[in-house]
Structure 1
Amino acid sequence: MTLQPFVSGAGLGLRRGLLTALADSAVGQVDFLEIAPENWIGVGGRFARQLRGLSERVPFLCHGLSLNLGGVAPLDIELLKAIKGFLDEHGIRGYSEHLSACADEGQLYDLMPLPFTAHTVQRVATRIRTVQDVLERPLIIENVSAYARLPGELDETSFIRAVLDEADCQLLLDINNVYVNATNFSFDPLAYIQAMPGERIAYLHMAGHYDEAADLKIDTHGAPVCDPVWALLRQAYGLHGVRPTLLERDFNFPPVSELYAEVAQIRALQQGAGR
């Protein structure tokens, strides 16, 4: 498979509510942007023109929402073909998706946990290989936040490593999801990060969450990144080296200057780790 050069530095997730502000100011403030292709395929008019203007000036990644990699329903090949066309049209540098289930007879509009079993590893890896064949690109899979565990003989890190090896794909390591799950399921987040195969980590995600209780955190992408997650990012760079890192914010948008400040904080940690 032939890939365009990947991204570097510190990026920001592009949401429709941020489009106008980013169209006017993103160049020079962020090193790359990321969008969900399902939210943009077939969009025309002013939004399409603004997106095209940005994708011609700033490197882009895509982060999918609805491939249903962990589900049992057949993969949506028509959706995959539409995504491939979108990636080609905008010169997208890389494509990632969630290691979860999100559909059955229809879309569930949530990311459901998978059973951490050897059988699931084989089944999901087969689906990932099919996705890569249709898209003619490597797929990058993301560790997801969860609020329940299904029966299985593997732990989360062993499951993720097995899927990566069996499918021969790459990892999007979401630092906030590690922190959320570490709280919700009482494990050491740093040990989790250390257990990830550094050679397969393509890039990282950062985001905020909601503290429902002392032992329950909800991954919302609706708040600033908290100090413990910043500390984990610094430690991740120490363990695996500096990787491209993106800030996600899905709602409760502050002034774009505040988002740029968080992107700048990522960049400062990258520069500090590189010394």
Structure 2
Amino acid sequence: MQFPLGNVGLGLRREMLDDFLLSPPADSQFFEVAPENWLKMGGKFGQQFKALTQQHQFICHGLSLSLGSPNALDVAFVKELKQFFDEHNILLYSEHLSYCSGSGHMYDLMPIPFTEEAVNHVADRIRRVQDILERKIAVENVSYYAAPGQEMSELEFTLAVLEEAQCDLLLDVNNIYVNSVNHNYDALAFMQAMPTDRIAYGHVAGHFVEAEDLLIDTHGAPVCDPVWDLLAKTYQHHGVFPTLLERDFNIPDIAELSAELSHIHALQAAQLNSKGVA
């Protein structure tokens, strides 16, 4: 599904706010924030954020909807999100295909068991969220380090949720690569199996190499060459789609971020040129 987004975006973190107000990176055509970090924000930060959302395209990537949780859906929170999206003209909302709450709230994203029961549970929650928000959402394929109670593959689970929930996909290329190393599967095959018409936008990010067979999804390093290569192949297979650079800590200066944004632009341009698209 096509959204009215620019082709390249950047995740906005609070540490970047002053620099962005003075001179937002020209290579970034849209910005992404976690709504939880801004919902209750007032004062100086709230005013600065409002100034940015009035001037630029913004999307939201949630952290705490907890789609796989056994707890009841937090309807009041979803309604707060709807008001926030309307106030700031948020073009798109995505969430992780994971959970972060049970008997309490956890500050980590836990893997949902890859089972038919979980597919039905998660898809029902996604449909309810979409009904309340009155908009389709996108779910992200997440990095994970264990698969408790696994009855199907990550690929089968992801495709089943997308189909049953009738939602869109946030295709995280780094997560595909990280999981392919950690769980010994074919990253290219996984990427190619994703439904092209469900891709709302994509993510790229850096990770930490703990060992040869263990990568940690940190968003704290530059994007590595294998992930850039996988992104190029993703464009070749699915076509060019809006793609966002994530950097959550070890945040470099704007010049270094702009260089990575320019690389996304270059990969997109190469694919469009190969298809004869001006």
CA distance 1:4–1:23, change in 2 (3 Å): farther
Determine the structure 2 residue equivalent to 1:260.
Answer: 258
Measure how far apart 1:152 and its partner are: 2.4
| Matched letter for residue 65 of structure 1 | L
SS in 1 for 2:120: helix
Q: Does 1:9 align with 2:35?
A: no
Q: So what's the TM-score if we normalise by structure 2?
A: 0.96
Determine the structure 2 residue equivalent to 1:269.
Answer: 267
Determine the structure 2 residue equivalent to 1:42.
Answer: 40
| Matched letter for residue 17 of structure 1 | E
CA distance in 2, matches of 1:102, 1:6: 30
Instruction: Find 1:108's aligned residue among 80, 103, 106.
Output: 106
Instruction: Find 1:90's aligned residue among 84, 88, 95.
Output: 88
1:33-79 deviation digits (Å, cap 9, x = unpaired):
00000000010111111111111111000000000001110111111
Q: Does 1:67 align with 2:65?
A: yes
CA distance in 1, matches of 2:105, 2:240: 36
Determine the structure 2 residue equivalent to 1:76.
Answer: 74
CA distance in 2, matches of 1:5, 1:180: 27
SS in 2 for 1:236: helix
| Matched letter for residue 6 of structure 1 | P
| Matched letter for residue 206 of structure 2 | G
Percent identity of paired positions between Structure 1 and Structure 2: 54
Determine the structure 2 residue equivalent to 1:159.
Answer: 157
Is contact 1:8–1:243 with CA below 8 Å preserved after alignment?
Answer: no
Is contact 2:31–2:59 with CA below 8 Å preserved after alignment?
Answer: yes
CA distance in 2, matches of 1:77, 1:53: 29
Is contact 2:25–2:254 with CA below 8 Å preserved after alignment?
Answer: no
- Runs of 5+ in structure 1 lacking a partner? none
Determine the structure 2 residue equivalent to 1:207.
Answer: 205
| Matched letter for residue 235 of structure 1 | K
SS in 2 for 1:274: helix
CA distance in 1, matches of 2:3, 2:207: 32
When the two chains are superposed, the root-mean-square deviation of aligned CA atoms in Å is 1.3
Q: Does 1:130 align with 2:128?
A: yes
CA distance in 1, matches of 2:120, 2:198: 18
Is contact 1:206–1:246 with CA below 8 Å preserved after alignment?
Answer: yes
| Matched letter for residue 261 of structure 2 | V
Is contact 2:25–2:258 with CA below 8 Å preserved after alignment?
Answer: no
Measure how far apart 1:5 and its partner are: 4.8
Determine the structure 2 residue equivalent to 1:19.
Answer: 17
Measure how far apart 1:22 and its partner are: 1.5
Determine the structure 2 residue equivalent to 1:29.
Answer: 27
Measure how far apart 1:28 and its partner are: 2.8
SS in 1 for 2:103: coil
Is contact 1:7–1:244 with CA below 8 Å preserved after alignment?
Answer: yes
Is contact 2:2–2:200 with CA below 8 Å preserved after alignment?
Answer: no
Determine the structure 1 residue equivalent to 2:239.
Answer: 241
Is contact 1:209–1:219 with CA below 8 Å preserved after alignment?
Answer: yes
- Runs of 4 or more consecutive aligned structure 1 residues displaced over 6 Å after TM superposition: none
Measure how far apart 1:202 and its partner are: 0.7
Measure how far apart 1:100 and its partner are: 0.3
Is contact 2:50–2:88 with CA below 8 Å preserved after alignment?
Answer: yes
Determine the structure 2 residue equivalent to 1:220.
Answer: 218
CA distance in 2, matches of 1:4, 1:210: 32
- Runs of 5+ in structure 2 lacking a partner? 274-278
SS in 1 for 2:9: strand
Q: So what's the TM-score if we normalise by structure 1?
A: 0.97
Determine the structure 2 residue equivalent to 1:120.
Answer: 118
